[in-house]
Amino acid sequence: MEAFAYANPSTLNGAVSLLGSKWGETAILAGGTDLISLMKDHGDTPARVVNIKGIDVLRHIEEENGGYRIGALVTFDEFLAHGIAKTFPSLAEAARGVSSPQIRNVGTVGGDLLQRPRCWYYRGGFGLLARDEKGHSLVPNGDNRYHAIFGNEGPAYFVSPSSFAPALVTLGAKVTLHGPSGRREIGIEELFVTPKAEGEREHSIHPNEILTEISIPSSAREWRNATYEVRQKEALDWPLATASVALKMDGDKITAARVVLGHVAPVPWRSHAAEQVLEGKSLSEATAARAGEAAVRGAKPLSQNGYKVQLARVAVKRALLAAKEGA
C-alpha cells in the first residue's frame, strides 16, 4: 500500500472540502471493505483518504411521508434489524446475500452502490476497460466466465457488483449527492453508467461529491417485491446472476411490473420485454417462466459465460414466484 494523507472530518461540508476535483486524488473511506483491498493491490492510490465514518448525519433510517430515507453509512446489519427490511423483502434478501457477518457489520449501503467492479482484469491493473498495451480488450478472448452478457458490445465487459442496486431500481429509488455546489438528487438508474473511454467511471458521481442518502418513495409500498440470487457457493461470494422484481397488482392481475437483472451487465439491467409479458396477466408459474424467457432475449454471452443466460432466466422466474408467495 502506498503512503497517503488521512483526514477524519466530523461534518459533511468539511468532508466535501477535502475531496479532490479529479479521480485518484482522494478516496472516501466508509466501511472500507472494498477500498482497503483496492489500495493493498495498488488498484487505487489516493494521495488522501477521507474517513466519513464520524459524520453522524449519514447514519439514519427515517420514515417520511410514507417513504424512507436511508443514510449512506447505514450498515447491512442495521438495515436488516430495522422494520424497513420487512416492508421491502427484495432489499432484505439482497442484504442477507452478503453472508459474511463481518462484512454485514461494517459494509454500508452507500458503499455497496459505489463499490468498484470485481473484474480480475481491472483488479489486476489493466484498467476498467481491461485493455493491453496495444489497446486491445483482454476480455473477449480471455477468461470471461463472470463477465457481462448484456451491454457488452464494448468496450466495457465488467458487471455491476452492487447487491442493492437492482432492487432499488425496481422500487423507483433516488440517491442524494453532496458536492461543492450543494445537493443534487438523481434517480438510482442515473447513478450507473457504462464507460466508453479510458478515464471514464462506472458511476455518474463526481470525484468531489459524496453519496449521502437513498430515498424510497411512498408509492413503493404498493408494489410486491422480491429478489432472487444465484451463487456458486453459500460462503461469501458475489452472485453469478440476480433478478429483482416489483409488481403492482389489482386482485390477481398484474397492472405494472419492473424487472431488473444484476451481475449480468455493466449497469443494473432493466428488462422491459419481461415487464411487457407480465402486464395484464395473472401471476402463474407459466407466466413467470415466459417472463424469464423474455428477460434473456437479446443476451450476447461471451466465450465462457453462456451459462449466465440460464441462470438469469431462472432468477427472474423464481423472483416473480417469491413476490407472489410473499404477498
User: What is the full DSSP assignment across 108-125?
Assistant: BHHHHHHPPP--HHIIII
pLDDT in tens, 281-293: 999 999 999 999 9
Q: What is the pLDDT of residue 236?
A: 76
Average pLDDT over residues 213-235: 94
The structural architecture, per CATH, of the domain 57-114+160-219 is 2-Layer Sandwich (3.30)
Question: Rounded distance, CA 294 to CA 51, Å?
Answer: 44
Q: What is the pLDDT of residue 326?
A: 74
220 pLDDT exceeds 90?
yes
Q: Are 19 and 208 in contact (CB under 8 A)?
A: yes
Give yes or no on whether 5-54 and 57-114+160-219 have one common fold. Answer: no
Q: Are 231 and 237 in contact (CB under 8 A)?
A: yes
- Domain ranges in the chain are 5-54, 57-114+160-219, 222-325
How far from 22 is each of 19, 28, 49, 206, 286, CA to CA, in Å? 9, 13, 14, 8, 51
Average per-residue pLDDT for the chain: 95
pLDDT in tens, 139-178: 999 999 999 999 999 899 999 999 999 999 999 999 999 9
What phi and psi, each to the nearest 5 degrees, are found at residue 148?
Answer: -75, 145
Q: Which CATH number fits domain 222-325: 1.25.40.10, 3.40.50.2300, 3.30.390.50, 3.40.50.300?
A: 3.30.390.50
Average pLDDT over residues 282-311: 98
Average pLDDT over residues 40-60: 95
225 pLDDT exceeds 60?
yes
Tell whether domain 5-54 is in CATH 3.30.43.10.
yes
235 pLDDT exceeds 80?
no
Q: What is the pLDDT of residue 283?
A: 95
327 pLDDT exceeds 70?
no
pLDDT in tens, 110-129: 999 999 999 999 999 999 99
Q: What is the pLDDT of residue 325?
A: 85
What phi and psi, each to the nearest 5 degrees, are found at residue 206?
Answer: -85, 155
